[in-house]
Amino acid sequence: MKNVRLPFARCLVVAALAVAAQGSWAETITVSAAASLKDAFTELAQKYEANNPQDKVQLNFGGSGALFQQIEKGAPVDVFASADEKTMDKAEQAKLVLEGTRQTFVTNTLVLIQPAKSQAQLDSLQALQDKAVARIAIGNPESVPVGRYTKAALEAAQQWDALQPKLILAQNVRQALDYVARAEVDAGFVYGTDAALMKDKVKVAYVVPVEKTVSYPIAVMKTGAQEAAAKRFVALVTSLIGQGVLKSYGFVPAVK
């Protein structure tokens, strides 16, 4: 019996060491992404973990400006995906982006939405001056890309100043969507992909023309500690598989 137990004990030790070694290989990457990417990136994270079982993906969603501020203050973020180029420009200027990793991977549209049961006809930006429209949700232009796109469009249509009393500022695009879905406001500005998620609660009244394309850049951050895994995640996002997932959520692929 003694000779039988010894090899068995050794097997247990070897197995324990193997588990420990596997744990040491595991890499947890933190991906900070614009709120409008939540559904698509949740699916992409699942695909990444299925293909890389040694890794884990921790997702952090919010307004692009707020996410940038977190990274700037030292948050250990491995991958950053912004809803506009301007925010990623700031990250580059702050020397937070790993050189050569920035890519624009999808584009989107800006739309004016209403609660699904609304009877108001909002087929232009000028229509927002109607007395029936008392509250309009927009992302805060100071920190939310959709808010900056909205402000620029309203200024181009000479409506920004006139609509100021009606504007309700949201912390991110999903909050603006939620305000409209719950009919807490009469209208709101979101991305086309967000409106598509709640077709039963909101309706697109108008596709807003924009001077600058609503484009999304992604990059590996220097603040993270998992460069190799971060690059693998970015590679998935920009691959045919990743672009297919994004397209299924309404995004227009930008990687050829």
Q: Is residue 98 part of a domain?
A: yes
Q: Is residue 63 part of a domain?
A: yes
Same domain, yes or no: 127 and 162: yes
Same domain, yes or no: 114 and 179: yes
Same domain, yes or no: 230 and 186: no
In the sheet that holds 187-191, the strands lie side by side as 167-170, 136-139, 187-191, 110-115, 202-208
Using CA of residue 129, residue 131, residue 132, residue 134, what is the dihedral sign?
Answer: positive
143 assigned ligand-binding residue:
no
Per the listing, tokens 């049961």 go with 117
Same domain, yes or no: 148 and 65: no
Query: What pLDDT, on the 0 to 100 scale, is given for residue 27?
Result: 80
215 assigned ligand-binding residue:
no
64 assigned ligand-binding residue:
yes
Q: Which of 75, 46, 96, 13 is nearest to 236 (CA)?
A: 46
Q: Is residue 20 part of a domain?
A: no
Q: Furthest-apart CA pair in the chain: how many Å? A: 91
**Does 227 have pLDDT greater than 50?**
yes
Same domain, yes or no: 134 and 103: no
Same domain, yes or no: 103 and 219: yes
Same domain, yes or no: 146 and 126: yes
Same domain, yes or no: 189 and 100: no
124 assigned ligand-binding residue:
no
pLDDT in tens, 14-30: 444 344 334 444 689 99
Give me the residues paired with residue 33 across strands: 61, 81
Same domain, yes or no: 130 and 65: no
33 or 212, greater pLDDT: 33
Q: Is residue 221 part of a domain?
A: yes
Quote the number of domains for the chain: 2
Residue 239, CB-side half-sphere exposure with 13 Å CA sphere: 11
pLDDT in tens, 47-76: 999 999 999 999 999 999 999 999 999 999
Q: Which two tokens stand for residue 206?
A: 């108008």
Query: What pLDDT, on the 0 to 100 scale, is given for residue 167?
Result: 98
24 or 234, greater pLDDT: 234
- Mean pLDDT throughout 122-135? 95
Amino acid residing at 66: A
Give me the residues paired with residue 55 across strands: 27
Same domain, yes or no: 183 and 136: yes
CATH number at residue 85: 3.40.190.10
Same domain, yes or no: 74 and 149: no
Same domain, yes or no: 77 and 33: yes
Q: Is residue 130 part of a domain?
A: yes
Domain span holding position 219: 28-107+215-253
Domain boundary, last residue among 169, 184, 207: 207
